[in-house]
Amino acid sequence: MKQLFLLMTLICSISTGSFADSVNNHELLNDSSDQVLMRTVVPSSDQPQGEVQIIQRGDLLVVQTLIASRALKHVAAAIDKKEMKHWPEEREGYVASVRYREELFRATERVWTMFRQRADKSELRQYLVIEFILSSKQGLIALSVPHIAGDYGNLLLQEKEPIQVWKAPTHYVKGNMIEMIQDSFHLNKAAATELLETLWQKQRVESN
């Protein structure tokens, strides 16, 4: 019964997402005004697989993960494992996390298929952008296939093609942003929370 409930919740959630996709999210994803507040190479500069950037996008705050990895599935598997750890079944946000994991899996498969069909065989890295977007009204998650230039530490997102965009509960998006800041910038939970709150408050003051 519980599983059935979960399944239904998931279907509803995906439907809502699809609905959200139909809503024009162009503004929310438009990165032309992006201002990078903080950035770091993840998981480490020894074995770089991408960057996590904290971005100011108009009145939005975005934690953006640019993955540029020769082993995207491996990176996605690590994210999947962290999601399971951070969002256990009993925690509020679990359903949103299940949705995120499903979408991430599908996106990874899609990128792998595109990678196998690429024209330029000298290109060895696979790319994916994950954005956790926070506005005053809603939380949003977006997965996109990007064009990225530059090297780790200076990765430059030139353009991106959204694969999936969906609304997610604000507390889940915010919670995940904190987790990501904590992991990527090697902060403790309190410091990561404080950083996010400071940036968010500053953002709101500036946009008002």
The footprint of another protein (CB under 8 A) covers 47, 70-71, 73-74, 76-77, 80, 105, 108, 115-116, 121, 124
Nearer to another protein, 66 or 75 (CB): 75
The residue type at 85: K
Nearer to another protein, 126 or 203 (CB): 126
Shortest Å, Cβ 83 to another protein: 12
Nearer to another protein, 28 or 76 (CB): 76
Shortest Å, Cβ 165 to another protein: 22
Q: Is the peptide bond before 169 cis (omega within 30 degrees of 0)?
A: no
- The distance between the two most distant Cα atoms of the chain, rounded to a whole number of Å, is 51
Nearer to another protein, 86 or 167 (CB): 86
Shortest Å, Cβ 110 to another protein: 14
Shortest Å, Cβ 116 to another protein: 6
Summarize the chain as % helix, strand, coil (round to 5): 45, 30, 25
- Show the tokens assigned to 15: 């439907």
Strands 50-57 and 156-168, how do they pair?
Answer: unpaired
Taking the C-alpha atoms of residue 99 and residue 11, their distance in angstroms, rounded to an integer, is 9
Shortest Å, Cβ 71 to another protein: 5
Residues in the chain: 208
Quick check: 56 and 75 in contact, CB under 8 A? no
For residue 102, give the nearest of 67, 143, 132, 65 by alpha carbon.
Answer: 143
Nearer to another protein, 29 or 87 (CB): 87
Please name the residues in contact with 140: beta carbons below 8 A apart, sequence gap of 6 or more.
20, 25, 28, 131, 132, 133, 134, 165, 166, 167, 168, 173
Quick check: 177 and 86 in contact, CB under 8 A? no
Shortest Å, Cβ 126 to another protein: 9
Nearer to another protein, 151 or 194 (CB): 151
